[in-house]
Amino acid sequence: MTESAAEIIARTASRSSAILRTVTNEQRIKALESIHEALIANKTKILEANKIDMDDARAEGSGISAPIIKRLDLQSSKDKFETMCEGVMEVARLPDPIGRITFKSQLDDGLVLERVTCPIGVLLVIFEARPEVIANITALAIKSANAVILKGGKESLHTFSAISKIVQETLSNTEIPSGAVQLIESRQDVASLLDQDQYIDLVIPRGSNELVRAIKSSTKIPVLGHADGKCAAYVAADADLEMAARVVVDSKTNYVAACNAIETLLIQRSGIDTVFPKVAAALLEAGVSLRVTPEVKEALSKAGGFPVDDSEKILDATEQDFDTEFLQFTIAVAAVNDERDAAIHINTHSSKHTDVIITSDADAAERFMASVDSSGVYWNASTRFADGFRYGFGTEVGISTSKIHARGPVGLEGLTCYQYKLRGHGQVAGDYVGSGGRQAFKHERIL
């Protein structure tokens, strides 16, 4: 892609954004309903394209890792395609996020100030694998009245092309302005788009930590996202055994390639001989290999019945293991004194994504959740709930671990900002105190 081509794309998106702001919520909903119907009608075509991408990814010498292949797959999970389509309708049914008044004040008689939600403007979304991102982001962008430029990865080229063609054809028969949703299939470097800070307001990378870090270091445009998903579970000595095993196993194995799967398990020392054997047995039965500290290994040896000498099932942990996003059936395990030590460990090693405490002590749970500096902190619930669809956002553009603007699963609200609207009757600042005049402000809060 040349610089001039990238500028044309970005400028087109910017101009379309101004028009999209005036499209009604009803018109946006109708467009999303049309996209949903078109995706369902073309399921066979999309899955056939996905099969080509999957075959290419699995071919010898492709260089594509197992976690990426799993993310690319739209077929093996019986409900992944349906969930993608339903996500479009979930977004369509959500309340209009645009035009909400969040603050209103009468500065003086006939001079009323409002703070009103509005679109961010133009989004650039760059993603690897995960072809469902096209439908997810398109739905969120249209509903929030943002223009979007979507750039897919080479590993999902055929799926991306199939879905993008369906989306473009569908939108051409709606009120959504052409250029509001642009899908870029080029495999070339995206550096030229990342230079378009005059037109693009926010970059959202979806993919590996290498991709996210590369983008963050290559643009002046604000970037929303997370580089890693190093989540942790802390199991207290008073945890219910069945609950602890169930929550930990689900957090780890429900979808090991997901950014909200746990990579670290912390056990309270006083429960290392009582609670931990039950959790360890459940993990091993689920096919998870354990990377354990000497203290943890000794506890397993003492408990008996564990393959402590099996280098494939139970391995010695290194310090690096607690800073690793495995994205596979492997978990690092250590012991800590209490929830405070667990929080310190997590804040030191985690990526500030999502972490959980499993305990029957409400006070300990609240201390843990107050201490852990992550975008999501849970009590007795799987980290796999960290998802826009499960939160009721319809879907998400991604999960943000930053502390500015949006945090956690980013749905419609995260794609809006606000502007101040002032309505008057010819008043001028020079008449008021602070600008040379004598008139005092009333500042009467209305909302």
Tell me the whole-structure pTM to 2 decimals: 0.81
Burial 105-133 (b: 16+ CB within 10 A, else e): bebbeebbbbbbbbbbbbbbbbbbbbbbb
pLDDT of the residue at 405: 80
CA gap 372, 354 in Å, rounded: 9
pLDDT of the residue at 2: 55
As to burial, measured by CB atoms within 10 angstroms (0-12 exposed, 13-18 middle, 19+ buried), residue 367 is: middle
CA gap 388, 86 in Å, rounded: 13
Q: Which residues share a beta bridge with 289?
A: 330
pLDDT of the residue at 33: 97
Q: Please name each of the domains of the chain with its CATH number.
A: 3-224+397-419 (3.40.605.10), 231-390 (3.40.309.10)
Residue 131 identity (one-letter amino acid): P
pLDDT averaged per 10 residues, the chain (length 447): 80 95 96 97 95 92 84 82 91 95 96 96 88 89 96 88 92 93 77 92 83 87 83 97 97 92 97 96 97 96 90 94 94 97 95 95 96 95 92 82 82 92 94 94 95
pLDDT of the residue at 388: 85
CA gap 194, 266 in Å, rounded: 40
Cβ neighbours of residue 88 closer than 8 Å, sequence gap 6 or more: 32, 35, 36, 39, 135, 136, 138, 139, 394, 395
pLDDT of the residue at 301: 94
Looking at 120-247, which runs of residues are DSSP E strands? 122-127, 147-151, 181-184, 202-206, 231-235
CB hemisphere CA count around 78 (13 angstroms): 0
Q: Which two tokens stand for residue 39?
A: 């995706």
pLDDT of the residue at 227: 66
